[in-house]
Structure 1
Amino acid sequence: MSGDQLKLGEKIIEGKTKVVTSLVDFPNQVLLQSKDRITAGDGARAHDMEGKAAISTATTVALFNLLNSAGVKTHFIKQNSDTSFMAYKCGMIPIEWVTRRVATGSFLKRNAGVKEGYRFCPPKLETFYKDDENHDPQWSYEQCLAANMEVGGVKIGRYEIDVMGKMTVAVFEILERCWASLDCSLIDMKLEFGVRSDTGEIVLADVIDSDSWRLWPAGDRRLMKDKQVYRELKEVTQEALDMVKRNFQWVAERVEKLSPKPHARAVVIMGSPTDSSFAERIKSTCTAYGVPCELRVSSAHKSTDEVLQILAEYEGEGIPTVFVAVAGRSNGLGPVLSANSTWPVINCPPVTGEWGAQDIWSSLRLPSGLGCGTVLSPEAAGLNAAQILSLSDHVIWSKLRAKKLNTWVTLKTADRKARDDK
């Protein structure tokens, strides 16, 4: 069903900059429509800005697509029009989660003595209760617990608060890394979460656009491209509004560049075609983390010249590459690759029970000057390759960071279930 054919139901909520409407044919989904409106100071300052809705939607859609692809759980489904998108229906949790990398803005007013530019490592996490009349007061962890909120049939307790906190920091770090690839510093960021009406699951919700963060190109506050420019205007003229709009458009255009295809790869070279099923497991893991992976067959003992030719071909292309050597018995493949290459080499021998204890030493005991490591599990070898390549590829890094988050949430959920089952 195309966007033009959607049957709109009742209006669920209308805010200062967006409207959320139910969908007749999709009871667990909503349409989120942005407005050509910019506000600041809990609505004390507000102006119409033609085209802002399309810019905001383009930014939000690109970022949610990026996060969904990385593996972060969000409410986003797909874009509907230039100014709207479809999302899972959620009960919104009335807490704003703010992550800060650099001390600036309101943090300095609330924390006298802290100098602007102080860098938080790890990022600083703060929570604010959404209440316009009281200017969104800051809440402590204990206040969030004591509120005993219930949203969408889910009591917001310690588990839910911990999960939202972990997700907030992970999303910030992912987007921080992405923006850094374009020489932009993500200074701070606010997020909101909701409880999905169909699953009861906590997901990242609302929108993420230039209203959501401070973004400084080249780390220079004077070049900021976020809504802070609008907040600091002494006089709001049409010329000033046009400048703010150009800043937002600048961001929307660059957001599209945050999700390129990975410019890195893994190459699995196996000493024998009989090891193909083992090598395929390495490739499968690489693919799951967004790492393109190629399989080759060549023997360091029986076709040394061909191994060196394959190596030269890949090095000549200049694409960051990790080689994984799959060779059992006497592993000459990994050491030969390592001795003749500047790229990382991982030994992953397909160890068998018969001679495994003896064969493994050919991967572990290396001549001097060689730096190839040894990993026995093919899945671990694929993960290791992804981790190495993520140092220069933020798309791969994002998938690894999201996987780390989801593993934490899985363990947290299992712990809660084990405790509740007693």
Structure 2
Amino acid sequence: MKKESKLWNRNFFLLWQGQLVSAFGDALYTIALSFFVLELTGSTAVMGTIMALVTVPKVLLGPLLGIMVDRVDRKKLIVIGDLIRGVSILLVTVAFRFGILKIWMLMAVAVIDGICSAFFNPAVESSLPDIVTDENVMRANSVYQIATTGAEIFGQSLGGAIYSQLGAPVMFLINGISYLFSASTEIFIKIPNVVSEKSKGTFRENFKDGIHFVLRYEGMIRVIVMSFFINFLFGIIRVLIIPWFVDNPQLGMTRYGVLSAAQSIGILIGMTVLSVVRVKASQKYNWYKISLFSFILMIGVAVLSNQYWIILLLFFLAFGFQMIFNMIMNSTVMQRTPVNKRGKVSAMKMTLGMAISPFGNFVGGMLGEVWNPRGIMFVSVLLAVITVSVIVIHPTVKEFLNYDTTGQK
């Protein structure tokens, strides 16, 4: 299939608008689930466990499903992923309506969500370079993420108020319907088939092939290892922000929703910058390094502040920088990976980068039972600064990120 030169071609638009709808419902569901579990159990440990269960399948199944992405029809994986998630969340809504909803059901849906994401995300990520031209890959990633973030802004800013007025079941229902709508539009996307590797070896051999490819680049290894540690430390923080706001009478659920929206607006601004500004290949490492350190330090200052507007501003700026360094890394990895390896490399990157995140959620939930959330979050920030300094400030990372597609293969 010939790729269209314009960014907003039919296939990209269908993928983009489907994500826009499902992301809005997902934002409502995430807030509703967190508040509902905390209200029902009063335990940060249980809340952290459910958040961790979404990530565990991505870690355990990511490499296997990444190989599958390189062997089967990626459009089917994308449609089926949204369809299963929509049905499972609607079943939770029905159980809530009839008064039979149990915590184990929410845990089961969290696992299902994680499994679907484990093959949905690599399928989308590996498909983007095949439906837009090389010069539009970074812009496509940015614009695609804008859909997610823009929807999250509305969902998160309204989430606390909707939960207070209508409760969790309405928010669950919206999310289930949004996934089904997204699946119905993704049916019409045309994604070119990948040259199958079925005759070239077993799953084990293909997995080893993906590992060998990643090991060719020390810079790639370093940015993935950095993600591994950062996801653990910020997995702790992500869990503890909720009890920090809920337990503080000057903050509360509504202001948490506004904070979540501020994060999303920051991400939106970061993506907008990358969608309109062409970052020179020789400057990508500097952009990456500056935005990464800015993200960490602003979170640290926000945790120390007692002024809500300062916390809001710093989280807004921090997550704008987060999107910049993430997009630079993801786009570089995609551009340096051959088409028949993108699925497994994308899954491997996601798996290794997120492998410890569920443990971070769990540890954060457990520590929140015995120690002040803000103290735990600040220690996590200090450890993040040390980790990034050791891993990222290295010439191989600079060489990897400053890759120029016009002059190299």
Q: Same fold (TM over 0.5)?
A: no
TM-score (norm 1): 0.24
Give 1 or 2 for the bigger CA radius of gyration.
1
TM-score (norm 2): 0.24
1 or 2, which has the higher helix percentage? 2
1 or 2, which has the higher strand percentage? 1
Q: Whose RCO is larger (CA < 8 A, sep 6+)?
A: 2
